[in-house]
Structure 1
Amino acid sequence: MKRMTISLFQIGVLFITLCIVLLAAFWLPQTAAYFSKDAPEYAYLQYPLLGAIYVTLIPFLLAILEGLRLSRRVALNDAFSDASVLHLKRIKMCAFLISLLYLVGGLLLNALVDMAPGIALLGIIIMLASLMIGLISGILEELLRKALEIKEENDLTV
């Protein structure tokens, strides 16, 4: 039952990741081209914004990869290991990097143009969501590190 649940989790994560990558590859450039024609005064931002979104896609994909590796460790009953702590640390760093990139991008965009509230809200939501994922990953990383210390102490006393 546990193995099936983890497999369903992995399939779900891969499906969502595939959807996001396909949206970034096909829908996003078309939408950016449409909006650059619709608002020609902002057309010069089309490619820098697309590039910035693609840059933030890299740490997202790395975090997804680390999450899949961590779930594989859980499936193999090897969740309490130093490698799991490393996976959580990498997820935390990727999430914080995404938050930082969106913060810097939002500040730059706000300085360059009068940003619409909807676009600003979307950036803030993405930034806060990745910040929360980073904080939760950090807490889980510390908990797992403490659990490993207790496990090592117990192994040495027996």
Structure 2
Amino acid sequence: MERGTTLFLKAAVIVIGLPILALCIFLVPEIANYTVELYPDHSYLKYLVYIVFYGAAIPFYFALYQAFKLLNYIDMNNAFSELSVRVLKNIKYCAIIITCIFVLGMPIFYLFAERDDAPGVIVIGMVLVFASMVIAVFAAVLQRLLKEAIDIKSENDLTV
């Protein structure tokens, strides 16, 4: 792969992380405060909103870091290695963790949608769950394919 392509992909990884950072800084506190306005007798919901969104942001940024490492391995012509398989495994686990966090946080989405009378909020929560599940499955498939390619390559190296 050309260096320009991986440079573009590295820039895309950074650009993907910036909107999530902006959401974490500006939107999550607003959502938490609005949840307290909707349920003033349940002020602990504010902290649950912080736990769900910031808890999902941590594995998200770890997965972005792993994607950046994978692109560095590709730059170093080290794409077909156990390091790349390990990176894909880490990305898969991060996506699974994000899925679990949002599944456990779905009651908050439900409470928010019920009081605010906005059923689209539940759909947004489900999109977050299914998007991270798709990423987990995609990373698992890539991990398995890369592992099989490495095995085939090592067999061919032994027969020569």
**Normalising by the residue count of structure 1, what TM-score does the alignment of the two structures yield?**
0.88
Between the aligned partners of 2:110 and 2:30, the Cα distance in structure 1 is 23
Whether contact under 8 Å (2:29, 2:50) holds in the other structure is yes
Pairs within 5 Å for 1:20-99: 20-34=20-34, 36-37=36-37, 39-41=38-40, 44=43, 45-99=45-99
Moved over 6 A (4+): none
Which deviates further from its counterpart, 125-134 or 20-29?
Answer: 20-29
The Cα of 1:13 is off from its aligned counterpart by 1.3
Pick from 123, 131, 134: which aligns with 1:132?
A: 134
Between the aligned partners of 1:4 and 1:87, the Cα distance in structure 2 is 22
Q: Secondary structure at the match of 1:77?
A: coil
Count of residues in Structure 1 that have an aligned counterpart in Structure 2: 157
Structure 1: 5+ residue stretches without partners: none
Between the aligned partners of 1:15 and 1:88, the Cα distance in structure 2 is 20
The Cα of 1:35 is off from its aligned counterpart by 5.3
What does residue 104 of structure 1 align with? 104
Between the aligned partners of 1:139 and 1:105, the Cα distance in structure 2 is 27
Whether contact under 8 Å (2:113, 2:120) holds in the other structure is no
CA 1:31–1:97: 2 relative to 1, 3 Å = closer
**1:39-64 CA-partner distances (Å, limit 9, x unpaired):** 34476222211221101111111111
The Cα of 1:28 is off from its aligned counterpart by 2.2
Q: Secondary structure at the match of 1:144?
A: helix
Percent of aligned pairs with the same amino acid:
34
AA in 1 matched with 2:9: F
The Cα of 1:9 is off from its aligned counterpart by 1.1
What does residue 122 of structure 1 align with? 124
CA 1:31–1:100: 2 relative to 1, 3 Å = closer
CA 1:42–1:76: 2 relative to 1, 3 Å = farther
Between the aligned partners of 1:31 and 1:92, the Cα distance in structure 2 is 28
What does residue 147 of structure 1 align with? 149
Structure 2: 5+ residue stretches without partners: none
RMSD across aligned positions (CA): 2.3
The Cα of 1:119 is off from its aligned counterpart by 1.6
**Normalising by the residue count of structure 2, what TM-score does the alignment of the two structures yield?**
0.87
CA 1:12–1:43: 2 relative to 1, 3 Å = farther
**1:103-126 CA-partner distances (Å, limit 9, x unpaired):** 122146648984742221111101
Between the aligned partners of 1:51 and 1:42, the Cα distance in structure 2 is 19
